[in-house]
Amino acid sequence: MDRKLIEKLKKHEVSFHEIDKMLDSGAAIELRRAAISDVAGIQFKHIDKFSFDVENVTKRNIENMIGAVQVPLGVAGPLRVNGEYANGDYYIPLATTEGALVASADRGCSAITACGGANARLFKDGMTRAPVFRTNDIIGAKKLVDWVHANFPRIKEKADKTSRFGRLLAIEPFVAGRNVYLRFAYDTSDAMGMNMVTIATDAAVDLVLSENDVELIALSGNMCTDKKPAAINVIMGRGKTVSADVFLSREIILGKLKTTPEKMAEVNYRKNLLGSARAGSLGFNAHAANIAAALFIACGQDAAHVVEASYAITTMELVEDGLYCSVTLPSLPVGTVGGGTGIGAQQECLCMLGVAGAGEPPGTNAKKLAEITSVAILAGEISLVAALSARHLAKAHATLGR
């Protein structure tokens, strides 16, 4: 190992990214790790152990790499999904450090499957990017909005040329004084698509600027809205808008969930609906983000999009001899190509679900993943609401994970 180069790294005479030009990926990783080990005064025993292809990962997924962090991976299921794209029994990979989470999801999967499975349907699919422009005044703002409406086919042609799979679906303008936000929405096929829509929108912006007396302030004006709580995503959707539902029989609720339909309905009403409303929450659910985060990490999704997954709305209604349960996810950005989906372990998890890579026809694998995710989240909602109604939550955490 080059001790002179390590000393230069420690003294900031050479930056962490510069050594990637001097050494191969493996040697650069080892050298950075050695420098951090010296500076922090710690001997690394775990982060140097990984099995993925460092050449691909350092080109696509990470900068200044020094190793990898392992997250325990569990499985819940089988979970029966009756969707348009996902149809069958699935084992759900969940990567988490929270004890009791996988066990809870597994119980929810068991209840759903015992009742014949949950339906899942996709209602909307569109990844967004919203640049903000400054005009001279509101007269200029109105002119820009009118121009966009009149020239949509030309804008679409410009944007669509940047990708084999991305297709511009719509542009929704929003005005605040002389600021104009254009919310572009795209079909991104099997990709989650944030990079795709950013590149496409950047190309479209060139056309807007060439024919209008306006100034681009930022390619993202926060009306997209990614990775932040935003009512616009709840109302208009972003990524996949998907719902799942199931009828749970009284017998299954008593036998598997150890509670009653009446108690579950009341917990959902007073906790997920009234409690969330009183708190001013954008999501009306028990813990949708828990299942989404674990599944995202396992399957190579952008974990920050758990923010949008947390907008889920959970409903539970008493019906004859049981309980109707549903979850609606207005904003679920998922994909099966790009991002972290090609990393070894994450791709294996996608293979478990039968959604790795591009679908045939294009887009079907990402839609299938969205349907499976919605039903997995429904399973988590059912199990936690049942545990709360039976006062089993504290006991489960005391037993399975403090």
Measured CA angle at 345 (ends 108, 239), to 5 deg: 60
Angstrom distance (rounded) from CA 126 to CA 164: 16
| Exposed e or buried b per residue across 271-287, where buried means at least 16 C-beta atoms within 10 angstroms of its C-beta | bbbeebeeeeebbbbbb
Are 78 and 90 in contact by the 8 Å Cβ rule? The answer is: yes
In the chain, the largest separation of any two C-alpha atoms, in whole Å, equals 76
| Exposed e or buried b per residue across 295-332, where buried means at least 16 C-beta atoms within 10 angstroms of its C-beta | bbbbbbbbeebbbbbbbbbbbbeeeeebbebbbbbbbb
In the numeric block, the tokens 């929704």 are attached to 172
> Residue 129: what pLDDT?
98
For the domain covering 131-218, report its CATH number. Answer: 3.30.70.420
CA neighbor of 240 nearest in space, from 321, 325, 328, 133? 328
Amino acid at 400: L
List per-residue pLDDT tens for the chain, 402 residues long: 789 999 999 999 999 999 999 999 999 999 999 999 999 999 999 999 999 999 999 999 999 999 999 999 999 999 999 999 999 999 999 999 999 999 999 999 999 999 999 999 999 999 999 999 999 999 999 999 999 999 999 999 999 999 999 999 999 999 999 999 999 999 999 999 999 999 999 999 999 999 999 999 999 999 999 999 999 999 999 999 999 999 999 999 999 999 999 999 999 999 999 999 999 999 999 999 999 999 999 999 999 999 999 999 999 999 999 999 999 999 999 999 999 999 999 999 999 999 999 999 999 999 999 999 999 999 999 999 999 999 876 565 566 665
Is residue 83 helix, strand or coil? strand
> Residue 396: what pLDDT?
57
3-state helix, strand, coil in the chain (%, to 5): 45, 20, 30
Angstrom distance (rounded) from CA 396 to CA 99: 9
Are 384 and 314 in contact by the 8 Å Cβ rule? The answer is: no
Is residue 374 helix, strand or coil? helix
> Residue 317: what pLDDT?
98
Cβ contacts of 167 within 8 Å, gap of 6 or more: 156, 160, 186, 187
Angstrom distance (rounded) from CA 240 to CA 237: 7
> Residue 329: what pLDDT?
98
Angstrom distance (rounded) from CA 115 to CA 121: 18
State yes or no: cis peptide before 361, omega within 30 of 0: yes
- What are the residue numbers of the active site? 98, 302, 397
Amino acid at 20: D
DSSP per-residue letters across 177-214 = TTEEEEEEEEE-TTB--HHHHHHHHHHHHHHHHHHSS-
Q: In terms of DSSP bridges, do strands 73-83 and 118-129 run parallel, antiparallel, or are they unpaired?
A: parallel
CATH label, 73-124+240-400, candidates 3.90.770.10, 3.40.50.10160, 3.40.50.300, 3.90.1150.10? 3.90.770.10
